Amino acid sequence: MDNLTHSLVGLSLSKAGLERVSPYATTVCLLSANAADADFVALFFGDRWTLLHHHRGITHSIVGTIAIGLLVPLLIAVIERTMARIRRRASTIRLRGLMVASLIAATTHPLMDWTNNYGVRPLLPWSGRWFYGDLVYIIDPYIWLLLGGAMFLLTSKGRLKVFAWAALAAITTTLIILASIRSTDASALKVLGVIWIAVVIAAVIVRATGFYQRLNHRAALAALALVLMYWGGLAVAHRAAYAAALAKANQLANSRGEGLVKVASMPMTATPFRWQSVAETDRAIYRYPTAITSNDRATDLGDVRRFEKPTGRAAELVSLAERDRRAREFLRFARFPIAVPEPSDCIGQALVQFADIRYTEPGATRGTFSVSIPVDCPAR
């Protein structure tokens, strides 16, 4: 998930009661909820493939989560006690309480990341197996609304904080409006836009009337509970989407005499009713949308994209390209990789493109979800 979501979760945990375990608990909750993404420092010691190798790696594992949960409060305690000595005052830190708060907040990071289709590797360093929740899109504005609205009402106690929340609301609202305008399938985003503006206006009214002063930690607990309920609803929707995706995958495989390998149904932006499905067979990978509200969702074969796996001489080119470090790192990450050599019947050199069908179709070259590897053609 994005770091705004992680920050809102950390702040919500603090306001739900963890802020009372020790001074600086709110700071610790915010740091521990985000600290797993410190793996981005790998970019400074290599290239984007180094980052791809380490991202959502050891810092998102069980071992890394425990380490973060213990190290963050220790660091804060050292800083606070050092400052206390310099200022000749007693330390106010309660280390045991900080560690409890930190461990809880740190645990939420890999849990939140597991819910989307990027996945996590919780068993590192013993196993690099990826686990995918496939419930929530990597950026979910509804979670922003649930947690952000509650935190605005609980923390906007001064002009500076009100200004900061107003700036955040302006930025996120602008992003949502722009996304709804530019998106090719903007219906879900338009619904989101209406809900978003309504909730923002409601939060402003509650703040202006002074009712927010009656709110306490129960509001934060309620917001967190609503997120859990939201996940539950998405889990039900995902189950229906996966059943529809599996039915369509079997139909596609049977129509071509192929053997089905695996199927996934993954979330799309701001809608629980439309999912992106990918199916792999022994000869191809298929990508198609799944609408769980459609009566003929299992038999409608429109909008299906088929990507055939390379064979023969094309497979030889792919095998050569797989030796490249960039390809190895990409394939270690990719969930539904496809390779397309151009030209497949070459004389001098060919370009082999690897793409992860979760995010990128062959032909696109943006981001870290595809890579093109030049290879020398083998002798005939």
pLDDT digits (tens, 9 = 90+) for 349-378: 888 999 999 998 887 655 568 899 999 887
Who's near 225: CB < 8 A, 6+ residues apart? Answer: none
Domain-ending residue, one of 299, 321, 346: 299
Residue 185 in this model has a pLDDT that exceeds 70: no
Lowest mean pLDDT among 259-263, 294-298, 353-357: 294-298
The answer on 290 and 325 residing in a single domain is no
**What is residue 234's predicted lDDT score, i.e. its pLDDT?**
95
Domain-ending residue, one of 133, 154, 176: 133
Does residue 159 belong to any structural domain of this protein?
no
Does residue 97 belong to any structural domain of this protein?
yes
The answer on 124 and 89 residing in a single domain is yes
Average pLDDT in the chain: 90
Does residue 191 belong to any structural domain of this protein?
no
pLDDT band at 48 (very low <50, low <70, confident <90, very high): confident
Q: Write out the two tokens for 257.
A: 């005499």
Residue 242 in this model has a pLDDT that exceeds 80: yes
Cα 188–chain centre separation: 19
How far is residue 307's CA from residue 340's CA, in Å, rounded to a whole number? 9
Cα 248–chain centre separation: 26
The answer on 329 and 293 residing in a single domain is no
Of the segments 101-110, 173-182, 308-317, which one has the largest average pLDDT value?
101-110
Q: Which SS3 state, helix, strand or coil, does residue 282 take?
A: coil
Does residue 259 belong to any structural domain of this protein?
yes
Does residue 141 belong to any structural domain of this protein?
no
The answer on 347 and 276 residing in a single domain is no
> What is the span of the domain harbouring residue 243?
236-299
How far is the CA of 359 from the CAs of 103, 148, 165, 368, in angstroms? 32, 28, 32, 10
Is 288 within 8 Å of 265 (Cβ atoms)? no
Is 76 within 8 Å of 93 (Cβ atoms)? yes
Domain-ending residue, one of 81, 109, 133: 133
Lowest mean pLDDT among 172-181, 209-218, 326-335, 348-357: 172-181
Closest CA to 279 of 263, 291, 267: 263
The answer on 253 and 321 residing in a single domain is no
The answer on 94 and 44 residing in a single domain is yes
Determine how β-strand 260-268 pairs with β-strand 284-291.
unpaired
Torsion sign (Cα): 99, 100, 102, 108: positive
Higher-scoring residue by pLDDT: 175, 257: 257
2-41 pLDDT per residue, tens: 999 999 999 999 999 999 999 999 999 999 999 999 998 8
94-142 pLDDT per residue, tens: 999 999 999 999 999 999 999 999 999 999 999 999 999 999 999 999 9
The answer on 368 and 247 residing in a single domain is no
**What is residue 236's predicted lDDT score, i.e. its pLDDT?**
95
Is 261 within 8 Å of 280 (Cβ atoms)? yes
Higher-scoring residue by pLDDT: 60, 190: 60
pLDDT band at 379 (very low <50, low <70, confident <90, very high): low
pLDDT (mean) for 204-224: 90
The answer on 26 and 123 residing in a single domain is yes
The answer on 84 and 2 residing in a single domain is yes
Residue 296 in this model has a pLDDT that exceeds 50: no
Q: What phi, psi does 178 have (nearest 5°)?
A: -65, -40
Strand partners, 364: 362
**What is residue 380's predicted lDDT score, i.e. its pLDDT?**
56
How far is residue 21's CA from residue 3's CA, in Å, rounded to a whole number? 24
Residue 346 in this model has a pLDDT that exceeds 60: yes
Who's near 313: CB < 8 A, 6+ residues apart? Answer: 344, 345
pLDDT (mean) for 206-213: 86
With tokens 């190895």, the residue in question is: 328
The answer on 248 and 281 residing in a single domain is yes
Q: Tell me how many degrees the CA angle 252-257-258 measures, rounded to the nearest 5.
A: 70
Exposure on the CB side of residue 116, measured as CA atoms within 13 A: 18
Lowest mean pLDDT among 265-269, 328-332, 374-378: 374-378
The answer on 58 and 126 residing in a single domain is yes
Q: What is the 3-state secondary structure (H, E, C) of the chain?
A: CCHHHHHHHHHHHHHCCHHHCCCCHHHHHHHHHHHHHHHHHHHHHCCHHHHHHHCCCHHHCHHHHHHHHHHHHHHHHHHHHHHHHHCCCCCCCCHHHHHHHHHHHHHHHHHHHHCCCCCECCCCCCCCCCECCCCCCCCCHHHHHHHHHHHHHHHCCCHHHHHHHHHHHHHHHHHHHHHHHHCCCCHHHHHHHHHHHHHHHHHHHHHHHCHHHHCCHHHHHHHHHHHHHHHHHHHHHHHHHHHHHHHHHHHHHHHHCCCEEEEEEEEECCEEEEEEEEEEECCEEEEEEEECCCCCCCCCCCCCEEEECCCHHHHHHHHHHCCCHHHHHHHHHCCCEEEEEECCCCCCEEEEEEEECCCCCECECCCCCEEEEEEECCCC
72-84 pLDDT per residue, tens: 999 999 999 999 9
| pTM listed for this prediction | 0.91
Q: How many domains does the chain have?
A: 3
- pLDDT cut 90: percent of the chain above it: 67
pLDDT (mean) for 247-259: 94
Q: Tell me how many degrees the CA angle 72-75-96 measures, rounded to the nearest 5.
A: 70
